[in-house]
Structure 1
Amino acid sequence: MRIVPIPPSEGLRLLAVHAHPDDESSKGAAMMAAYVAAGAEVMVASCTGGERGDILNAAAGELAHAHRDLAGLRREEMAEAAAVLGIQHRWIGFVDSGLPEGDPLPDLPSGCFALQPLERAAAPLVRLIREFRPHVVTTYDENGGYPHPDHIMAHRVAVEAFEAAADPERYPGLGEPWAASKLYYDRAFSPDRFRTLHYGMVEEGLESPYAERVAAWEENPEGEMFAWVTHHGTTTQIACAEFFGHRDRALLAHRTQIDPEGFFFAVPTDVYARHWPWEDYTLATSRVETTLPESDLFAGLR
């Protein structure tokens, strides 16, 4: 197991583009906290306010508040999570699309994020990139990491803004052009990680929450453990196990959305750290030379 610590990162800036508040805590939180500790500036852009999220933790103490003003409570939760991680945060300002269910799927709500024209949705992010001037941008792959309409739209918006922010002919009036150097896709749902954690749990005499998925995958190796996972290989692993506690506390700050007995806590933190001490990324675009595989999102920039 090759663990390469993050080097000092003063003067470097990272922007993570997410769909909803809580996504930043379930995808890349330990990585962000690690870079903050190394001296980098880290900002999260939340495309929506998560207004249509379900209340997934019935034990949350603010149930009445949540039913009365979920959008306001999610802003409070996001502020708490940002403080735990030490990150800066911006709301991009669009309305949650919700997760449509049924067969056939219902139409998305009028005016929601996923139905915005691409240039309108990307404009606030172009402005933010030109203002914050990140060296690295992270987001989801073209399937959204998983196929939520807001995650797919966040991918489209991030790719558009990454390219357009560098072009003085595009989005005039939104600041001086800035070319971020690298664009990464988060691999929070890497099948290899789930399989390794499964066998780590078994090895330590614990019941694995992934046993059924791994068995199905091994029975059909040509299939997918998660049918919606896109075929991107991991190019970059960031060693950040010492910040898994920050990730867990940030997740728990989103108390109306995150069940402390649920999926995100199915593997004990110490077991997780022993068997998969990284967070995983795919390098999608680079304007600087780098060598794969990487152990640093700022490789080629130092």
Structure 2
Amino acid sequence: MAVHAHPDDESSKGAATTARYAAEGVEVLVVTCTGGERGDVLNPSFEVPEGHEFDSVEGRRAVRRLEMADAAAALGVRQTWLGFVDSGLPEGDPLPPLPDGCFALQPLEEASAPLVELVRRFRPHVMTTYDPSGGYPHPDHIKCHEVAYEAYHAAGDASRYVTDGGAEPWTPRKLYYNHGFSMERLRAVHEAMQGAGLESPFGDWIESRAAREIPEREATTRVHAADYFDRRDAALVAHASQIDPEGFFFAVPRDIEADVWPTEEFELADARVPTELPEDDLFAGLREEGR
């Protein structure tokens, strides 16, 4: 079970890994906490699908649901919605208040309850989500971490989140945090592109003071997923309102990426089975148990 904040997050964070496991026969469920209703258009070539509009919260939700369905099909995974409304990314100084009723403002137990029920029904052995920072300071990403962390720890406790007719308690075995574009990865790809005589998109960022001051979290688990980069790319392109097919995500030639950095990284946050670090499999320790 991969828990994400918005449609498109599942395609930019751990996507090739989910595609690999799905192709290998693992049942993979992507949970999307919000509808992405307040996401701006980030693709200059985006055209609103015929019969739709993108100027209202409802219109954006509908379009992004179409995009999400195409992305899930590209990855070969199941997907469901938690049902909350995008909080938007506040900008300015001081920051404006978040919109009433948005995901980030929901009390923790109210926001976690539907995910706890999903965990109990789907019965995942492994869950993935974001680290406590959210990966970047979007309020929905931080809330997504809080909700997934709560559900991981609470779903197996029969005394918590009790509902009439609810599913039986279920205890997931492992919790991971996604690692996106680590500085180690960016530097390796940057140097490889320079070595190939190509212009790297990461040079200014790597040399910036802001980049040097970002603390690096430890990657404990590296899953080889280069064979599924094409599925990841297809899923990214499916989010046409958000992903520019000529933009950042596609700036590195795939042969260079596969040669220099063929893995996706995760951080083991909790394990209820014995496992040895580093790992190369999210199911390490579970396969030995025959699960």
> TM-score band, normalised by the shorter chain?
over 0.9
AA aligned opposite 1:62: V
Given that 1:21 and 1:49 are in contact with CA atoms closer than 8 Å, whether structure 2 keeps it comes out as yes
Give CA deviations for 1:50-70 in whole Å, capped at 9, x if unaligned: 000001113112176323511
Match of 2:167 in 1: 175
User: Is 1:148 aligned with 2:134?
Assistant: no
Percent identity at matched positions?
58
Task: Describe the SS at the equivalent of 1:225.
Answer: helix
User: Is 1:263 aligned with 2:248?
Assistant: yes
Given that 1:49 and 1:91 are in contact with CA atoms closer than 8 Å, whether structure 2 keeps it comes out as yes
Which residue of the other structure, out of 235, 245, 255, is the alignment partner of 2:230? 245
User: Is 1:58 aligned with 2:50?
Assistant: no
Match of 1:29 in 2: 15
Given that 2:221 and 2:265 are in contact with CA atoms closer than 8 Å, whether structure 1 keeps it comes out as yes
Give CA deviations for 1:31-67 in whole Å, capped at 9, x if unaligned: 0000011110101000000000001113112176323
Match of 1:115 in 2: 105
Match of 2:25 in 1: 39
Q: CA deviation at 1:231?
A: 4.0
> What's the TM-score, normalizing by structure 2?
0.94
Deviant stretches of 4+, over 4 Å: none
User: 2:26, 2:202 → 1: CA distance?
Assistant: 35
AA aligned opposite 1:145: G
AA aligned opposite 1:285: D
Match of 1:220 in 2: none
Q: CA deviation at 1:213?
A: 2.1
Match of 1:278 in 2: 263
Match of 1:298 in 2: 283
Q: CA deviation at 1:226?
A: 6.4
Can you give the 5+ residue segments of structure 2 that lack an aligned partner in the other structure?
none
Given that 1:66 and 1:256 are in contact with CA atoms closer than 8 Å, whether structure 2 keeps it comes out as no
Task: Describe the SS at the equivalent of 2:211.
Answer: coil
> What's the TM-score, normalizing by structure 1?
0.90
Q: CA deviation at 1:128?
A: 0.4
Please say which of residues 57-66 and 67-76 is displaced more in the overlay.
57-66
Match of 1:166 in 2: 156
Task: Describe the SS at the equivalent of 1:197.
Answer: helix
User: 2:17, 2:205 → 1: CA distance?
Assistant: 26
AA aligned opposite 1:120: E
Given that 1:143 and 1:230 are in contact with CA atoms closer than 8 Å, whether structure 2 keeps it comes out as no
Q: CA deviation at 1:22?
A: 0.3
Q: What are the equivalent positions in structure 2 for 1:69-148 lying under 5 Å apart?
A: 69-148=59-138
Task: Describe the SS at the equivalent of 1:270.
Answer: helix
Give CA deviations for 1:214-250 in whole Å, capped at 9, x if unaligned: 2336xxxxxx6265x5542000000000100101110
Task: Describe the SS at the equivalent of 1:285.
Answer: strand
Can you give the 5+ residue segments of structure 1 that lack an aligned partner in the other structure?
1-14, 218-223
